[in-house]
Amino acid sequence: MRTDIAEPVRLKDYRVPDYLIDKVDLDVKLHPSATRVLARLTIRPNPQGRSDAALILDGDGLSLKKIALDGQLLDLQKPEAWKGFVTPDQFTLHAPPRYPFVLEIETEIDATANTRLMGLYRSGSVYCTQCEAEGFRRITYFLDRPDVLSIYTVRLEAELSEAPLLLSNGNRITGGPIEGTPRHFAVWHDPYPKPSYLFALVGGDLGSIFDEFTTRSGRKVALGIHVEHGKETAAAYAMDALKRAMAWDENIYGREYDLDVFNIVAVSDFNMGAMENKGLNIFNDKYVLASPATATDMDYANIEAVIAHEYFHNWTGNRITCRDWFQLCLKEGLTVFRDHAFSADMRSAPVRRIADVRTLRAQQFTEDAGPLAHNVRPDTYYEINNFYTATIYEKGAEIIRMLKVLIGDDAFRKGMDLYFDRCDGTAATIEDFIACFAETSKRDLTEFSRWYHQSGTPLVEAAGRYDEAAKTFTLDFTQSCKPTPGQDQKEPFVIPVALGLVIPGQGDIALRTDGHDGASAAEIARGVIELSAARRRIAFRDVPSRPVPSLLRGFSAPVRLTYPASETDLITLISHDSDGFNRWQAAQTYATRLLLRSVDRIRAGDPPHADKDFSGALAVVLEESTDPAFNAQVMTLPSEADIAREIGEDVDPDAINLARDALREAIGQDLKDLLRAAYDRLADTGPYSPDAAAAGRRALRNAALDLFAAGDRIEGARIAMRQLETAATMTDAIAALAVLAHIPGDARETALDAFYHAHEGEPLVIDKWFALQASIAEAGTLDRVKNLMKHKAFSFSNPNRMRALVGCFATLNQTQFNAGDGSGYDFIANIVLELDAKNPQVAARLLSAFKSWRSLEANRRILAERALRRVAGAASLSPDVKDIAERSLA
């Protein structure tokens, strides 16, 4: 176990490694509690490094058996004889040879006892590894940093009955039984130099499906997906998604796969979503396994996205990796950007955009508004595990999206080509990346790059003035950004604002400006105005009547934008905007306004605010038949967390919950007949398909049911019960159960029991059952969650179970996590402390549920702070939890 880190790692302290490791030969003999790893490292001094430097290899809790330098055993009892020292966490050689030398290190690992799920561990009976970010040092001593690239050859050996399948990175060279023993072996060789975080091995008894993909230059790639026996058919969709992703990367970016095999292994114990190890992706099985009876449409979409994400890393992450962990967004932001574009191409683009922006706002905006705000490219960190955040991933992707909007598709694609060309085989930086686009666009991107160095969500305030006589419309923009930890003053951001002017009843008009106060020809041609200073004014001419501006179309920048639109203006946009995203946004803005008004009224002791016009606008959308998936998004109100974020300070989660329920009830009553008719009209006919069109109809039908039941609980529960009993898909079953779960009474308990018994053998379905119960906004939920933790299907050590039950309680259940008596905070604090001893990474992530504590009303703030202080002050905390606790309190 590493001891607490007192000093942060700083970007400005980056130095090239003093030694390089060209070759890594691993010989791994798998055994449940005593796996032997013999690492043969070919090391040489780095000509660019310091010539007098000691060789310092990282370790983390290693048990060293022996070590030899150029064939000479080092006497571990007499370190002075070889001038160095060794601890479980470090190996130091003060005066290593100045020529290439070989270090042989033998370690022993108890994979079964590894509860952190970092390094070599077991998921059920399967041996697997997770090395990003710093897990390789739990396998052997190494220069465990992403800028040390080596060629790996791995020999694996295991009992044939225990692990008939032996996989590692690259191509399989040879293998077979070991005569006269019950064991067998396999040798894998990866010809591409890679950092240690991309190393992986798997040994186990798994069921496999195989397929093949021929790249456009004719390379035949054998594809394999390996899952728990009996689940093979549930991997078919993942295989299909993989082949589509491979074709997409060839078509869109000209990137081909570069090995003869590509393997994916699904395991049920995994800290994150999945991992892009070269040629051997390892997945949380939640992102591989899907059948109509167990997976929702959302699960299918997530599988498609995560499969593509990990595959795309082969170029953006593996062929070009990161120089250091400060550059994490170089691979993550870019790869999320690529998987978003892929999903948009596979499905409805506006619907994907809406879903992506919902996630961005829910996770990243919230992070950026609280004590855990950090740069997309941080300049210090205490614990890198804590930087796999929405800011690095989602905001990192938004920056690239903006770049593309600003320089145009052509210069963007050329910039990507240049990046692949120039940086292939290297460990690169954000500066290397941006330089490629500065070159192809001939633009100075220095100011744009502030997005990487300044945290916080900019606020853009827009105002418009129509001059009837002159037929001009003038827009005034101002931008600002609140201070974030360590950053009191912000320089202006470069913000692309895609816009249009909508004339009621007529639609978009052509944009024209005059020289004075005008936009450049390029801006007009693209319909994108660039804000790069604190203020900007733009006047449009030839505007026949007062327009409604449609601003930030497609969510062209990750900012908060306000414009004093009237409610009539919003209705114009909801029904007539040519930009799908902004039609949805106008409905969200309208709903948010109603909700904020209601929250104020509820806190003043008045009844919530109601509004028939909003219901009327939704009615129009409900009746349109063009894109049900889109309509479903419009029918879904902002979440409680969205409303809390809008309010920003002195937040009362109970008032928000009441206001939101009241609005849903009012809409449900106003649109009773229409909702019911939509529900009947959209019933699934014909065979099941997971495609976007069928999923869209299910989404709209279930959104209609949800609102209908909010207006009429008795009839709603009756319909939901019938839907639950007859559902052909998990999408419909879970939607019905969700309706029932939020209506107190015996019917709910009966339905929950029945659901459990119907799906008992499917842990991923039981996770949905846990998550649903954890999110019930009622006072009894904490007790329910505590009881469920004693349920035989719950497991304290399985991250998916933990996230489903405890994680959902902390992040989705705003009223109960933030219960006025502090019981939710105490509960989560206790779990974090208990879990920290087992799995610090998952514990730290759970603790970040407190990230908005400062915006709460005073009483809750005091209670949340008390719980956080209790965690921060506990003895023997992991660096992971300590870091989150301390930054949350700073």
Nearer to ligand PHE among residue 146 and residue 547 (C-beta):
146
Per-residue binding letters, 89-128, with ligand PHE (x by CB under 6 A): ----------------------------------------
220 with 214: CB under 8 angstroms? yes
> Residues 334 to 373: which contact Zn ion by CB under 5 A?
335
Compare residues 192 and 283 and give the one whose CB is closer to ligand PHE: 283
Residue 888 binds which entry of Zn ion, ligand PHE, none, with Cβ cut-offs from 5 to 8 Å by kind?
none
Report the alpha-carbon distance of residue 155 to residue 547 in Å, rounded: 69
Can you tell me the distance from the alpha carbon of 273 to that of 238, in angstroms, rounded to the nearest whole number?
Answer: 14
Phi, psi of 399 (to 5 degrees): -60, -40
Among 388, 755, 770, 850, binds ligand PHE (CB under 6 A): 388
Distance between CA atoms of 709 and 380, rounded to whole angstroms?
49
316-335: contacts with Zn ion (CB under 5 A):
332, 335
Q: Smallest distance from the beta carbon of 388 to Zn ion, in angstroms?
A: 9
Q: Which of residues 512-571 bind ligand PHE (CB under 6 A)?
A: none
The most distant pair of C-alpha atoms in the chain lies apart, rounded to whole Å, by 97
Smallest separation, CB 881 to ligand PHE (Å): 17
Question: Which amino acid belongs to residue 532?
Answer: S
In the complex, least distance from residue 227 CB atom to Zn ion, rounded to whole angstroms = 21
Cα three-residue angle 165-171-175, rounded to 5 degrees: 50
For ligand PHE, which is the closer residue by CB, 310 or 642? 310
List active site positions: 310
Picking from 343, 230, 242, the residue whose alpha carbon sits closest to that of residue 291 is 230
**Least distance from C-beta 325 to ligand PHE, angstroms?**
11
Give the C-alpha separation, 277 to 257, whole Å.
14
**Does residue 309 bind ligand PHE (CB under 6 A)?**
yes
Helix (H, G, I), strand (E, B) or coil at 212: strand
With b for 16 or more beta-carbon neighbours within 10 A and e for fewer, the 145-176 pattern comes to: bbbbbbbbbbbbbbbeebbebbbbbbebeeee
H-only helix segments in 296-359: 297-312, 328-346, 349-359
Count, residues near Zn ion per rule CB under 5 A:
2
DSSP state of 686: S
Least distance CB 880 / ligand PHE (angstroms): 12
What angle (nearest 5°) sits at the alpha carbon of residue 431, between those of residues 429 and 432?
70
Q: Among ligand PHE, Zn ion, none, what does residue 275 contact (CB within 5–8 Å per kind)?
A: ligand PHE
Q: Given candidates 35, 107, 123, 130, which one binds ligand PHE under the rule CB under 6 A?
A: 130
DSSP string, 547-568: -EEEESTT--SSSEEE----HH
Number of residues interacting with ligand PHE: please give it, by CB under 6 A. Answer: 13
In this structure, what token pair is assigned to residue 520?
A: 């450049």
C-alpha to C-alpha distance for 787 and 794, rounded to whole angstroms = 10
x/- letters, 740..779, toward ligand PHE (CB under 6 A): ----------------------------------------
Residue closer to Zn ion (CB basis): 122 or 323: 323
Q: Which is nearer to Zn ion, 335 or 472 (CB)?
A: 335
Interacting partner of 272 out of Zn ion, ligand PHE, none (Cβ under 5 to 8 A depending on kind): ligand PHE
Amino acid identity, position 412: F
Across-strand partners of 86? 91
134, 304, 310, 577: which one binds ligand PHE (CB under 6 A): 310
Residue numbers 223-282 binding ligand PHE by CB under 6 A:
271-272, 274-276
- Between 338 and 536, name the residue whose CB sits nearer to ligand PHE: 338
Is the N-terminal amide bond of 34 cis, ω within 30° of 0?
no
Which residue sits closest to ligand PHE, CB atoms considered?
272
Minimum distance from CB of 195 to ligand PHE (Å)?
Answer: 12
Q: Angle CA(7)–CA(8)–CA(10) in degrees, nearest 5?
A: 130
SS3 110: coil
In the numeric block, which tokens belong to residue 869? 């202080």
Q: How far is the CB of 483 from ligand PHE (least distance, A)?
A: 30
Look up residue 276 and give its two tokens. Answer: 């892009």
Give whichever of 313 and 845 is closer to ligand PHE, judged by the CB atom.
313
Give the one residue of 25, 132, 299, 762 binding ligand PHE; rule: CB under 6 A: 132
Nearest-approach distance from CB 317 to Zn ion, in angstroms: 7
Window 326 to 355, contacts with ligand PHE (CB under 6 A): 332
Interface with Zn ion (CB under 5 A): 332, 335
Interface with ligand PHE (CB under 6 A): 130, 132-133, 271-272, 274-276, 309-310, 313, 332, 388
